[in-house]
Amino acid sequence: MTISFKISENTKEKMIKYFQDKKRTKTPAYAIFQADEEDTVVTLYESGKVVFQGISADIDANMWKEMEKHLNPNADLKEKNSEKKKKKDQEERLINSKIYYATTIGSDEVGTGDYFGPIVVTGAYVEKENIPYLEELGVTDSKKLDDSKIMELVPLIIKKIPYACYVLSNPQYNEKYSNDINMNKIKAILHNKVLLALTEKYPNTDYVVVDEFAAPSVYFNYLKKTPTYRKITFMTKAESKCLSVACASMISRYVFLKEFEKIEKYLGISLPKGASATVDKVGAKIIQDHGIEIMKEIAKLSFKNTEKIKNMLKEK
């Protein structure tokens, strides 16, 4: 067991005095001392971090935690406990395993980090019987696959996997975005749309999973005036833990690429993805060739790129 936390200067002084005769001859780098206390090895670092390792680490750690609280009642003790973390990790793996091998509906979005192109949110319904098929295809988070692989795999996925997809065009985004409706609220509204559609059609789903982009309380607050699907399991990095979210991620990317291609054909040029300085240069060129009004049709005007582009044009 390993437990660590930071202590104040007055507790450090007490600890140095207490362990004066128990110190080891060798001291780790940046440590004031390392000492033996029965079955526990105690290391105090110059930063004030103290580490307790061994069978009785919790007992010795508690003694010095109480000392810290006594000397510094307002101290904020942020403890790291290897056993608690191990137990938490085991519990999380068990939960993740249950979800991974269950029948699930998962949703994910694409396009929220791209200046050009729409936002696409997809929900996918994966029955547990289809898990081996998806694994064999190599279904995973769309961000881990190049676009050519996405274009190859998604037509095979959608032949077998039911899904609901919502595309928010650039004009729709620019109309909706405001101080009251930010990107996360837009995402919550779109996720809710696809989840309502799929759960109505497939009510006997074991889990409904959303890749967490906001705290659950915040997510539901965004939807307080809207009919809302609520039985959601929020997970971080859900694309790697739930195949329905992975499918949703890939389908969203596929649809985004198709929509992006339409914009490129309309302009007659190749567009960069993302929101980099290259995007700014291309945006300035588009305005020079077609006028500023066209940006409402092809870009998310709330992005900082818009001001950067305007500044570039002023300098010319």
pLDDT tens digits for range 277-311: 999 999 999 999 999 999 999 999 999 999 999 99
Name the DSSP letter for residue 226: S
| Confidence (pLDDT) at 39 | 86
In terms of domains, do 272 and 238 share one?
no
Q: Are 33 and 47 in contact (CB under 8 A)?
A: no
Pseudo-torsion of CA 106, 110, 112, 118, nearest 10°?
-120
In terms of domains, do 247 and 280 share one?
no
Neighbours of 155 (CB within 10 A): 9
Say if 83 falls within a structural domain: no
pLDDT band (50, 70, 90) for residue 84: low
| Confidence (pLDDT) at 160 | 95
In terms of pLDDT, which residue wins out, 177 or 118? 118
In terms of domains, do 71 and 182 share one?
no
pLDDT band (50, 70, 90) for residue 247: very high
| Confidence (pLDDT) at 89 | 47
Which tokens in the block code for residue 269? 């040029």
Neighbours of 211 (CB within 10 A): 23
Say if 90 falls within a structural domain: no
Count of structural domains, the chain:
3
Percent of the chain with pLDDT over 90: 73
| Confidence (pLDDT) at 123 | 98
Measured distance CA(1)–CA(52) in Å, rounded: 8
Say if 39 falls within a structural domain: yes
In terms of domains, do 251 and 297 share one?
no
Q: Which of 78, 111, 127 is the last residue of a domain?
A: 78
**Where are any strands of DSSP class E within the chain?**
2-6, 31-37, 40-45, 49-54, 80-81, 104-110, 119-126, 163-168, 207-211, 233-235
Give the long-range contacts of residues 142-149, CB within 8 A, separation 24 or more: 142/108, 142/110, 142/239, 142/246, 142/249, 142/250, 142/252, 142/253, 143/239, 143/249, 145/250, 145/253, 147/253, 147/257
Q: What is the mean pLDDT of the chain?
A: 91
| Confidence (pLDDT) at 95 | 53
pLDDT band (50, 70, 90) for residue 154: very high
Residue 179's CATH number: 3.30.420.10
The residue-averaged pLDDT of 47-62 equals 90
Measured distance CA(166)–CA(151) in Å, rounded: 18
Residue 42's CATH number: 3.30.310.10
In terms of domains, do 188 and 277 share one?
no
| Confidence (pLDDT) at 87 | 61
Listed residue (16, 35, 15) closest to 25, CA to CA? 35
Which tokens in the block code for residue 94? 């068990």
Q: Which of 262, 282, 306 is the last residue of a domain?
A: 262
In terms of domains, do 201 and 242 share one?
yes
In terms of pLDDT, which residue wins out, 174 or 55? 174
Residue 200: phi, psi to the nearest 5?
-70, -35
In terms of domains, do 180 and 61 share one?
no
Lowest mean pLDDT among 27-36, 78-87, 222-231: 78-87
Residues 6 or more apart whose CB falls under 8 angstroms from that of 198 comprise 105, 123, 124, 125, 162, 163, 164
In DSSP terms, which residues pair with 35 in a beta bridge?
23, 42
| Confidence (pLDDT) at 96 | 72
Look at the alpha carbons of 302, 308, 311, 316 in this order and tell me if their dihedral is positive or negative.
negative
Which tokens in the block code for residue 180? 């009251």
| Confidence (pLDDT) at 78 | 80
Domain span holding position 7: 2-78
Listed residue (150, 143, 153, 148) closest to 112, CA to CA? 143
**pLDDT above 70 for 83:** no
**pLDDT above 90 for 125:** yes
